[in-house]
Structure 1
Amino acid sequence: MAALTLTATTETLRLAQPFRIAGYVFETADVLVVELDDGTHRGRGEGAGVYYLGDDLDHMRAGIEGSRTAIEAGPTREDLRMILPPGGARNAVDAALWDLEANRSGRPVWQLAGLDRAPRPITTTFTVSADTPDAMAEVARGYAGARSIKVKLTGDLDLDLARVAAIRAARDDVWLGVDGNQGFAAADLDALVAGLVEQRVSLLEQPLPRGREADLDGYRSAIPIAGDESLLSLDDVAGAVGRFDVVNIKLDKCGGLTEGLLMAAEARRLGLGVMVGTMIATSLGTAPGFVLGQIADLVDLDGPTFLAQDRAPSVTYADGTLFAGPDVWGAGKGPAA
């Protein structure tokens, strides 16, 4: 690959409302935007980092600057996996390399990724952040077109079950999943799962803290359990067997679409389900996940919906689905204007 010029900028995104999960409240979200230019073609990508790993803007910027020479030398996407570790910086550069390759070749990213058909709208979950049961039920009612809803829990068992019951009463029609965000202990699992079964919950995501995966050895859950914080990159997928049923792939965790595709293939090989999630991101950061979402069992890509203002062009949400049109990212448009 020819030598490249790397430009990295940072943005602080304002959320429309505070977003609450177990142990954390978001009011803004920081992203790193990378552009790679070979003099004729450009590629862009966005990374949001991973807050619980300390992968913030300073960390991402340091990673980019420390690897600038290697990146500007024009690596392949596979080379990049050796240059930068998993995380937001690699995700942003990886997305820019995919976009650059698409523009150079005139082929869209979905073709380069080996998909057998053009992407179609996919059903995505819409997330209800933690609040009072009544307030959360009202938010769920507001997602009028949603087919799938994910509920953020905080680890307060009785309150969390009341939250889920209120949302189920408000939206009897939707697929319902919950996200523990590491908020529970192993001793809570039996009561938690029993209460979720009563409300026809179909997925329990990351109930236990990262590092307590062994507590799930031999545990039989009536609801599939997804690993999120416990499963960061390709190296973690094999350890999911016997503990998790579903691997939640987030491109900011694993370092981009290149590794995300490898994770999905390995999860399938091991008999695990594939879920694609996102940190809070703009449409530019969401579009690569949309490509991966075409081969996933579950999709949770509602990050742009929490922003006070998304970037344009933007992804489209309609009737409970997500669509990232070719104008958002990875279209293979050819030379830069």
Structure 2
Amino acid sequence: MIQLRFHPFRLALLEPFTVSYGTRTHQETLIVALHDGQHSGFGEAPAIFYYGVTVQQFQDALEQHRDAIEAWNPADTTPEAFWETMAPRLATMPFALCALDCAAHDLYGKRLGQSLYQRWGYTLDTLPLSDYTLGIDEIPVMVRKMRDFPWPVYKIKLGTPDDIAMVRELRRHTQVPLRVDANAGWQPDQALRNIRAFQELNVELIEQPLPPADLEGARWLFERSPIPLMADESCQREADVATCAHHFHGINIKLAKCGGLTPARRMVAQARQLGLQVMVGCMTESTVGISAAAQLLPVLDFADLDTPMLLRTDVASGVRFEQGKVVYAQENGTGVRMLPTTEAERL
């Protein structure tokens, strides 16, 4: 019989982290565990403040369906079929659905004695590097962070009046690939000016330049941009993938937004059919969430899975990155094992 358990944490960040939506020093998150008496599977639901969600909401939503969750028998039913059962029940709470789905996949893989990427038939021949993110800050602080953390590719959070100057100054200090993420902070004319400047600075890609509602502007910018544009806020669920074609060059899939690994794999397949590039990103998650997302690396073009490196204290072991390269854990499933002791603050 499956047992559902909750492990809520308040994770401290190494330094304040700023995007166009605001600044954070901590991240509250819910680790969801499924136990079968021998093996344990884990998933994560980060309570991102600008989405208006809380750990308590996640826990309440899952608690409401405890009987259905604990009735799952992984000996008879795959995680994908389990997701189909639970998705209608958690349709308004995709972050909680994601945590449940990833826990189910982790448990299932551990029971099989396989990593998820092995279960799915993926090979490790070609894996994209994960970038390291620099949040919005004073330019000298961003330069210092880049020097303190040498990495083979950086992502720069933008959405300020000084975006071009910021990227230009950072480019002076490194020749590695740079990616930028406006978090929907620009308008079309402004975006095109920035893009033309960034082309001269060898920016590799640009995430979500415009607000998601501006489809007309997205199409206009897509037709003019010499740099690949990746949808983030514009591509949250499976239904959004088709809309992104002819508006973006690719999509950034986040497990928490779409509801887990099960829909994420379908989104990858649909994006390929539409000729879109594919990136998998993350919210501010621990190694639990990142280890799940990293199972998709063999079928991706880009990866943004750096958030455990932004934490003061993690709560689990699993996959890790060395100079952008993934190192998979010896554990099966997603590779997650909760740390027996942690300094992370429990809620």
TM-score normalised by structure 1 residue count: 0.90
Cα RMSD after superposing both structures: 2.1
Q: Which amino acid aligns with 1:162?
A: A
What is the SS of the residue equivalent to 1:202? strand
Question: Which residue is 1:101 aligned to?
Answer: 108
Q: How far apart are the structure 2 equivalents of 1:131 and 1:202?
A: 21
Q: Establish whether residue 261 from structure 1 lines up as the match of residue 265 from structure 2.
A: yes
Whether the 8 Å CA contact 1:32–1:46 is kept in 2: the answer is: yes
Q: How far apart are the structure 2 equivalents of 1:96 and 1:127?
A: 26
Aligned partner (choices 79, 85, 88) of residue 95 of structure 2: 88
Q: How far apart are the structure 2 equivalents of 1:214 and 1:223?
A: 18
Whether the 8 Å CA contact 2:107–2:333 is kept in 1: the answer is: no
Deviations 1:251-284 (Å, cap 9, x if unpaired)?
1111111111111111001000000101111111
Mean Cα deviation higher: 104-113 or 288-297: 104-113
Question: Which residue is 1:38 aligned to?
Answer: 36
Q: How far apart are the structure 1 equivalents of 2:204 and 2:18?
A: 22
Taking structure 1 as reference, are residues 326 and 165 closer, same or farther at Cα in structure 2, changes over 3 Å only?
same
Q: How far apart are the structure 2 equivalents of 1:330 and 1:23?
A: 31
Whether the 8 Å CA contact 2:130–2:324 is kept in 1: the answer is: yes
Q: How far apart are the structure 2 equivalents of 1:324 and 1:18?
A: 29
Task: Tell me by how many angstroms 1:52 deviates.
Answer: 3.1
The aligned runs of 1:234-313 (5 Å cut-off) are 234-313=238-317
Task: Tell me by how many angstroms 1:107 deviates.
Answer: 2.5
Q: How far apart are the structure 2 equivalents of 1:49 and 1:176?
A: 28
Question: Which residue is 2:344 aligned to?
Answer: none
Question: Which residue is 1:163 aligned to?
Answer: 166
Q: Which amino acid aligns with 1:82?
A: P
What is the SS of the residue equivalent to 1:82? coil
Q: How far apart are the structure 1 equivalents of 2:267 and 2:36?
A: 30
Q: How far apart are the structure 2 equivalents of 1:299 and 1:238?
A: 21
What is the SS of the residue equivalent to 1:197? helix
Deviations 1:262-317 (Å, cap 9, x if unpaired)?
11111001000000101111111100111112210000100101100123424332
Q: How many residues get paired?
A: 326
Q: Establish whether residue 178 from structure 1 lines up as the match of residue 180 from structure 2.
A: yes
Taking structure 1 as reference, are residues 45 and 23 closer, same or farther at Cα in structure 2, changes over 3 Å only?
closer
Whether the 8 Å CA contact 1:78–1:258 is kept in 2: the answer is: no
Task: Tell me by how many angstroms 1:332 deviates.
Answer: 10
Task: Tell me by how many angstroms 1:67 deviates.
Answer: 2.2
Task: Tell me by how many angstroms 1:320 deviates.
Answer: 2.7
Mean Cα deviation higher: 96-105 or 271-280: 96-105
Q: How far apart are the structure 1 equivalents of 2:271 and 2:31?
A: 29
Q: How far apart are the structure 1 equivalents of 2:10 and 2:205?
A: 32
Aligned partner (choices 195, 198, 208) of residue 197 of structure 2: 195
Q: Which amino acid aligns with 2:83?
A: R
Question: Which residue is 2:210 aligned to?
Answer: 208
Mean Cα deviation higher: 102-111 or 117-126: 117-126
What is the SS of the residue equivalent to 1:170? coil
Taking structure 1 as reference, are residues 124 and 318 closer, same or farther at Cα in structure 2, changes over 3 Å only?
same
- Segments of 5+ residues of structure 2 without an aligned counterpart are 73-80, 338-347
Taking structure 1 as reference, are residues 331 and 130 closer, same or farther at Cα in structure 2, changes over 3 Å only?
closer
Aligned partner (choices 146, 154, 159) of residue 154 of structure 1: 159
Task: Tell me by how many angstroms 1:19 deviates.
Answer: 0.3
